[in-house]
């Protein structure tokens, strides 16, 4: 299994500081089970078990001061060598200066699950100024809640001071969404304000101990995504947590706890209230997670695919567009699995392509000249979606390059193909072309021709070229007839029409 650590129940020593009354560390850790009332024949009755479970599983309403479970390496299996050198050094320096310092959050979760973490975040009781003073190459960032970026070799570590959970006086909007959480707090409070139990784990590289306030290790080993506190309240505070629940369950193969899952359908509308940039960040994480296909399926299962990414709505409702996008996402997942780089430009080019096609078709139907009409359609779509999706100028440039290449794959005569394969975006453009063919938008003949062309030696390439003037003449003759495939573009143009 991908899960490191020993999933069997076992007693363990360590500091064993679990609070019996609260029953923390209950599941999976016999040491901390509260005493049982014996039923008949010495076995606990079902109602006692239910009572026990309630006691053991109770959380959220409990004060954040409860002592955590200290879980030794024998149980979770994470050795310090799996933490990046920079993160280890950062924790070490902070601890040497008398502070608490741990690797926290997603990295600990991923390490226990046997996944390579994307990055290592550090949590500490040192203030940002104290952190800053300990590392020459560091800077304080963020105005609302300051964190410190510490540079170690080629790594940048994000070091955050423990933050408090939301209190009664937290500033919220009219839907209950938290607008500000910028108060320093204790480590227990820092754990309590995190979203899921599996995300509230702290790893101490010095002792290889995982500090677990909310049964996160047991939940992870039992493959359950459980919320810290009342899920309804936590979704109200931050609706993005619904999206995170789906993303993390897809990434880690976790089952949503019924209490996490049940409210989503009814509360999905709260997502409309979240700033677009925030939603977009989480959506990008989802699309680049390496589990995009699974995540999008799960979004649908939970009724969450509407309004998340406006373009996803549009696309998933056109049969051809859906197939295209899902193939693109499968390709993205395969690239992540192979450790290849991902380009946001390529991804957005695929997500928006069917909108471009629709806009292009509309323009051609109005009699515009095909190629200029394509450029107009591209700008039109990027103008509308670009702002919504926070697409930067540079990414917009990449997107346009890929789209603009598409009609150029039609030209297979003379010097055109030789020039095309020299272009920096040729590979991306070709992959995109292939995707269009695989999704049924165009025939396979054009990508197959290019595939042959790329594989051939120079002499064979020359022989493959189409006659220089043939396509034009042929198109002229066939005017009025319905041409097939993407090659139809030029044939449909009224001669000398449009304003180009």
By a kind-dependent CB cut-off of 5 to 8 A, residue 177 interacts, out of ligand ATP, Mg ion, none, with none
| Residue with Cβ nearer Mg ion (106 or 487) | 106
Contacting residues toward Mg ion, per CB under 5 A = 106
Residue (of 141, 180, 175, 149) closest to 164 by Cα position: 180
Q: Which one is catalytic: 121, 181, 333, 398?
A: 121
Which of the choices Mg ion, ligand ATP, none does residue 86 contact, using the CB cut-off of 5 to 8 A by kind?
Answer: none
* Region near ligand ATP per CB under 6 A, out of 240-248, 252-260, 312-320, 336-344: 240-248
Token code pair at residue 15: 């500091």
Phi–psi pair at 302, nearest 5 degrees: -90, 0
Closest CA relative to residue 113, chosen from 84, 76, 83:
76
Does the annotation count 119 as an active-site position? yes
Binding segment (CB under 6 A) for ligand ATP, from list 62-70, 236-244, 296-304, 329-337: 236-244
Binding mask 190-209 for ligand ATP (x = CB under 6 A): ----xx---xx---------
Quick check: 238 binds ligand ATP (CB under 6 A)?
A: yes
| Annotated catalytic residue, options 110, 125, 190, 195 | 195
Distance CA 100, CA 498 (A): 70
Angle at which helix 276-287 crosses helix 292-301, to 10 degrees, equals: 120
491 binds ligand ATP (CB under 6 A): no
Q: Is 278 in the site for ligand ATP (CB under 6 A)?
A: no
Task: Determine the length of the chain.
Answer: 500
d(CA 211, CA 90): 18
> Is residue 401 flagged as an active site residue?
no
Crossing angle of the two packed helices 370-388 and 344-365, in degrees rounded to 10: 130
Question: Smallest distance, Å, CB 77 to Mg ion?
Answer: 20
Considering the complex, what minimum distance in angstroms separates the CB of residue 122 from Mg ion? 12
3-state class (DSSP) for residue 89: helix
What is the rounded CA–CA span in Å between residue 84 and residue 155?
Answer: 9
Sign of torsion, CA 88 90 94 99?
negative
189 binds, among ligand ATP, Mg ion, none (CB under 5 to 8 A by kind): none
Interaction of residue 240 with ligand ATP, rule CB under 6 A: yes
Tokens 């020359």 -> residue: 462
DSSP-derived letter for residue 307 is S
Distance CA(202)–CA(423), nearest Å, equals 48
Residue 193 backbone phi and psi in degrees, to 5? -85, -5
**Closest distance between Mg ion and the C-beta of residue 64, in Å?**
22
- By beta-carbon proximity to Mg ion, the closer residue of 160 and 161 is 160
Of 281 and 451, the one with the shorter C-beta distance to Mg ion is: 281
Whether residue 259 contacts residue 196, with contact meaning beta carbons closer than 8 Å, is answered with no
Q: Which of residues 24-83 bind ligand ATP (CB under 6 A)?
A: none
- Is 110 a catalytic site residue? no
* Using rule CB under 6 A, residue 139 touches ligand ATP: no
172: which strand partners? Answer: 178
Q: Does 215 bind ligand ATP (CB under 6 A)?
A: no
> Judged by CB under 6 A, does residue 333 bind ligand ATP?
no
Fill in the per-residue mask, 94 to 113: x = in contact with ligand ATP (CB under 6 A), - = not in contact. -----------xx-------
Q: Which residues bind ligand ATP (CB under 6 A)?
A: 105-106, 118, 121, 194-195, 199-200, 238, 240-241, 244, 285
Active-site amino acid positions = 119, 121, 195
């Amino acid at each position: 299994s991908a899960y490191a650590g020993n999933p069997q129940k076992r007693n363990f020593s360590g500091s064993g500081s679990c609070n019996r009354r609260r029953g923390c560390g209950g599941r999976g850790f016999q040491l901390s089970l509260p005493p049982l009332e014996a039923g008949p024949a010495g076995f606990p009755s079902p109602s006692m078990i239910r009572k026990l479970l309630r006691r053991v599983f109770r959380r959220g309403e409990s004060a954040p001061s409860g002592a955590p479970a200290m879980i030794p390496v024998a149980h979770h299996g994470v050795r310090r060598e799996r933490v990046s050198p920079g993160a280890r050094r950062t924790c070490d320096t902070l601890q040497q200066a008398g502070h608490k310092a741990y690797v926290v959050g997603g990295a600990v979760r991923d390490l226990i699950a046997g996944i390579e973490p994307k990055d290592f975040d550090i949590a500490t009781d040192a203030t940002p100024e104290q952190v800053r003073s300990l590392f020459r190459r560091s800077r304080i960032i963020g105005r609302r809640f300051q964190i410190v970026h510490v540079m170690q070799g080629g790594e940048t570590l994000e070091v955050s001071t423990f933050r408090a959970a939301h209190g009664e006086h937290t500033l919220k909007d009219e839907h209950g969404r938290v607008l500000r959480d910028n108060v320093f707090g204790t480590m227990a409070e820092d754990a309590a304000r995190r979203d899921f139990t599996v995300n509230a784990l702290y790893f101490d590289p010095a002792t290889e101990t995982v500090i677990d306030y909310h049964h996160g290790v047991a939940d992870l080993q039992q493959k359950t995504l459980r919320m810290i506190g009342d899920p309804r309240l936590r979704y109200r505070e931050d609706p993005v947590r619904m999206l995170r629940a789906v993303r993390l369950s897809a990434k880690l193969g976790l089952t949503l706890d019924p209490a996490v899952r049940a409210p989503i359908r009814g509360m999905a509308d709260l997502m409309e209230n979240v700033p677009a940039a925030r939603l977009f960040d989480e959506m990008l994480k989802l699309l680049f997670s390496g589990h995009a296909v699974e995540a999008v399926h799960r979004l649908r299962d939970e009724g969450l695919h509407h309004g998340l990414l406006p373009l996803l709505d549009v696309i998933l409702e056109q049969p051809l567009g859906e197939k295209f996008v899902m193939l693109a996402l499968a390709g993205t997942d395969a690239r992540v699995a192979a450790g290849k780089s991902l380009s946001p430009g390529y991804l957005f080019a695929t997500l928006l392509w069917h909108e471009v096609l629709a806009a292009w078709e509309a323009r051609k139907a109005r009699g515009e000249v095909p190629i200029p009409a394509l450029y107009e359609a591209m700008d039109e779509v990027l103008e509308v979606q670009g702002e919504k999706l926070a697409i930067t100028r540079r990414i917009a440039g990449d997107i346009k390059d890929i789209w603009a290449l598409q009609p150029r794959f039609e030209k297979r005569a003379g010097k055109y193909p030789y020039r095309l394969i020299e272009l920096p975006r040729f590979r991306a453009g070709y992959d995109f072309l292939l995707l269009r063919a695989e999704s049924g938008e165009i025939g396979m003949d054009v990508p197959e021709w290019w595939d042959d062309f790329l594989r051939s030696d120079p002499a064979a390439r020359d022989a493959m070229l189409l006659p220089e003037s043939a396509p034009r003449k042929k198109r002229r003759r066939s005017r009025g007839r319905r041409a097939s495939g993407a090659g139809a573009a030029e044939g449909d143009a009224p001669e000398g029409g449009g304003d180009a």
